Amino acid sequence: MKLLKKTLISTIASAIVLSLSSCMHYPAAKNSRPPEELSKEIEFDLWKNYYRKQERFDFSQKEMFNNKKYRIIEVTINPLSQYSGYNSKTNVFDFYISKKNSKNPTILLLPIMGGKDYPIESHFARYFTKKGYNIAIVHREQKIDEEVNALEDLDALLKWTVSDNKRVLDWLESQNEVDANKIGLFSISFGAIKGSLLLPLEPRIKAAVLGLGGGNLPYILAHTTEKGLIKHREKLLKKHNLTLQEGEEILRSVITYEPYEFAKFIDPDKIMLVNAKFDKVVPYRTGIELKKRMGNPESLILPTGHYTSLFCIPYIKSQAYRFFERKFSQIEGENKLEKLVEAK
């Protein structure tokens, strides 16, 4: 038994070392293109039907953890009556507050799709919090089966996720512990897909790490190997008597919030992508094509699949932290320069 345990530990350790040694870091393209101006139609649709900026909130908070370095509260933002028709959902997130400084950079963390808890996200959150960052882990939708009864419902769900995340940012920037000039985004898997849709619509986000995401949503949803998505996909296809190909064609006709189309509105200088070479959950080819459409930003390529990318977490953490530090330092330098100019 002891020999088996030692062998298992040795195998895992070897896999981690091999994974870390094979990870590739690519700097941003030297001639990155500037972002295109966001379509007014997209902005107006979001404003009209889904989101209005909030400065007053009906919210509650529950203390979850507290030690010398950080504390965690669960925040619930309730809808206000005057926002009937938009901002009308209840938003819940775990807010990790660093005690390193009175005001800290803050990262919005969008999680993976599956599961009831947030073990992977919490691991990243504790790491960043100890480095002096606040982290907000936005809880995933728990009733997706109720919200997506037909393939045509998916586009509205994507718009609501953008609205929900903007609303969380509204609350965060009102908090004394948050440096509103240094807000970042860290997102994983389906969270990274959401992040690629949020970024063009959210100028408050100054730096973003999108991990294991991709574009071409109809293709991803039709070819993913993620069991939860397959189960829900098969249920919808059977309910509406559709083949997989017919379902993919319907998605192409109804989805307007598509990462490939939003990519041109994103500044490649403020993002870092993470892709896994053998990813079949979010197929690798969709991530690489998204990278091209984003203007070839800084990126990490992992020698793993979607789930085995866990072996590369130490590398991802350190690279993401360096990226955020670099981008936030640039902002600090720009602010100091502006003050010097104003003083003259």
In 3D, which of 127, 149, 148, 151 has the Cα closest to residue 137?
127
Integer angstrom CA distances of residue 318 from 27, 131, 300, 312, 322 = 15, 11, 12, 10, 6
The partner residues of 25 in beta bridges, in order of sequence, read 300
| pLDDT (0 to 100) of residue 116 | 75
What distance in Å separates the CA atoms of residue 204 and residue 193, rounded to the nearest whole number?
18
Quick one: angle between helices 244-254 and 227-239, nearest 10? 90
So what's the pLDDT on residue 85? 62
Q: How far apart are CA 108 and CA 93, in angstroms?
A: 10
Yes or no: say if 304 and 284 are a contact pair by the CB < 8 Å rule: no
Distance between CA atoms of residues 304 and 312, nearest Å: 8
pTM of the model: 0.91
Q: What is the pLDDT of residue 18?
A: 47
Which residues does the chain have with pLDDT short of 70? 1-21, 81-87, 142-146, 336-344
How far is Cα 73 from Cα 93, in angstroms, rounded to an integer? 8
Strands (E), the chain: 24-26, 58-66, 70-78, 91-98, 104-110, 134-138, 178-188, 205-211, 271-276, 298-302
pLDDT score of 82: 61
Q: Which amino acid is at 315?
A: Y
Strands 24-26 and 298-302: antiparallel
Q: Using CA atoms in the order 242, 244, 250, 251, what is the torsion angle rounded to 10 degrees?
A: 140
Distances (CA, A) of 88 to 146, 154, 211, 254, 291: 16, 18, 29, 23, 34
Q: What fold is seen in the domain 36-216+258-343?
A: Rossmann fold (3.40.50)
| pLDDT value of residue 10 | 45
Q: Are 93 and 136 in contact (CB under 8 A)?
A: yes
pLDDT for 207 equals: 99
CB atoms closer than 10 angstroms to residue 66: 12
At 337 the pLDDT is 60
Tell me the pairing of strands 134-138 and 178-188: unpaired
Question: Using an 8 Å Cβ cutoff, are 93 and 175 in contact?
Answer: no
Distance in angstroms (rounded) separating the CA atoms of residues 83 and 323: 37
* Alpha-carbon span 172 to 169, nearest angstrom: 5
pLDDT of residue 173: 97
Q: Six-digit token pair at 43? A: 């902005």
Let me know: does 165 contact 138? Beta carbons within 8 Å: yes
Instruction: Please give the distance of CA 247 from its chain centroid, rounded to a whole number.
Output: 26
Give the separation between CA 13 and CA 311, rounded to whole angstroms: 9
